[in-house]
């Protein structure tokens, strides 16, 4: 009798396209797979809402008091707030803008908003 080969032979042939996994996909996978991760996810969502409110208040305060600088560092923004260019008085008076510790990876969208700030002299990214 002939001996049988042990083990898997594996697939032969062409491999499919490489699967792209983004950070957002990984977060959604973790949220769906881990039953207690929903709590951390809810806390993160609440923290993001608070950060948005703080940033909006800082912009509103700068408009009301006619300040020439705004500190929006650490707001976890993936974009530059449109309010910076939509309020004409702010666009005319803003000299210093701090956007450090944000997630501004798409510089085209960031600079399309920032180009309307004509008096801007200092920008921290």
DSSP string, the chain: -PPPPPS-----S---PPPP--HHHHHHHHHHH-TTHHHHHHHHHHHHHHHHHHHHHHHHHHHHHT-SEEE-TTS--SS--THHHH-HHHHHH--EEE-TTS----HHHHHHHHTT-TT--EEE-
Q: What is the pLDDT of residue 4?
A: 66
Q: Is the pTM of this model over 0.75?
A: no
**pLDDT beyond 90 at 37:** no
Average pLDDT of the chain, as a whole number: 80
| pLDDT tens digits, one per residue of 65-98 | 999 999 988 888 878 888 887 888 888 888 999 9
**pLDDT beyond 90 at 61:** yes
Q: Which range (47-61, 65-79, 102-116) has the least confidence?
A: 102-116
């Amino acid at each position: 009798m002939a001996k049988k080969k042990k083990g898997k032979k594996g697939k032969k042939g062409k491999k499919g396209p490489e699967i792209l996994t983004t950070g957002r996909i990984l977060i959604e996978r973790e949220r769906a797979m881990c039953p207690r991760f929903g709590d951390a996810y809810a806390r993160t969502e609440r923290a993001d809402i608070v950060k948005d409110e703080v940033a909006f208040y800082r912009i509103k305060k700068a408009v009301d008091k006619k300040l020439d600088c705004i500190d929006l560092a650490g707001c976890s923004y993936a974009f530059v707030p449109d309010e910076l260019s939509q309020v004409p008085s702010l666009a005319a008076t803003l000299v210093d803008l701090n956007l450090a510790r944000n997630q501004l990876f798409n510089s085209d969208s960031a600079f399309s908003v920032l180009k309307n700030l004509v008096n801007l002299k200092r920008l921290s990214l």
